[in-house]
Amino acid sequence: MKVQEILNQLPYGKDFLFVDELLDVNEEFIKGTYTFSKDLNFYGSHFKDKSVTPAVILTETMAQIGLVCLGIFLLKDQLNDKNLAFAMTSNSLDFMQPVYPGEQVWVSSEKKYFRFNKLSCSVKMENVKGELISKGTISGMLLSKNHE
């Protein structure tokens, strides 16, 4: 599966897509980047006097690159069914430093296990200087979109 095919299958709209590029992907590992544009709507309120990227957005960025993109790659044959989606189910992350508007981050993820359509990964986020921003574990699973 090509990188562009993975990006095309991401289920997010442009205002909630936190993946710019995928640099490397294989059965065990994925690495990608995202740059937090200074005009993202949450920066005006988080925080009023000194904008900083919310931890929940950093978590989402790590999940989109390190879990969902890797899950799409691993489940490439099953995800042709448009009624299936990959979703985060749990995470345990530590944050070491903030991310400010305009910063680019690099997310890398190593597969811990993948069985019964559940994927668990060791993820880390670094800035362009290679300094650690966050690290931990993110897990997710294949879900049916027809859960009504």
Give the pLDDT of residue 103. Answer: 98
Give the pLDDT of residue 81. Answer: 58
Any idea which architecture 3-140 has in CATH? Answer: Roll (3.10)
Give the pLDDT of residue 147. Answer: 52
Domain locations in the chain as residue ranges: 3-140
Give the pLDDT of residue 48. Answer: 86
Beta bridge partners of 119: 114, 140
CB 91 within 8 A of CB 137: yes
Q: For residue range 77-120, what is the model confidence (pLDDT) as tens digits?
A: 766 656 677 789 999 999 999 999 999 999 999 999 999 889 99
DSSP H or E segment with residue 142? strand 132-144
pLDDT, one tens digit for every residue, the chain (148 residues):
788 889 988 989 999 999 999 999 999 999 999 999 999 999 989 998 899 999 999 999 999 999 999 999 998 776 665 667 778 999 999 999 999 999 999 999 999 999 988 999 999 999 999 999 999 999 999 887 665 4
Give the pLDDT of residue 143. Answer: 81
Q: Going by C-beta distance under 8 Å and a sequence separation of 6 or more, which residues neighbour residue 70?
A: 25, 30, 109, 111, 119, 121
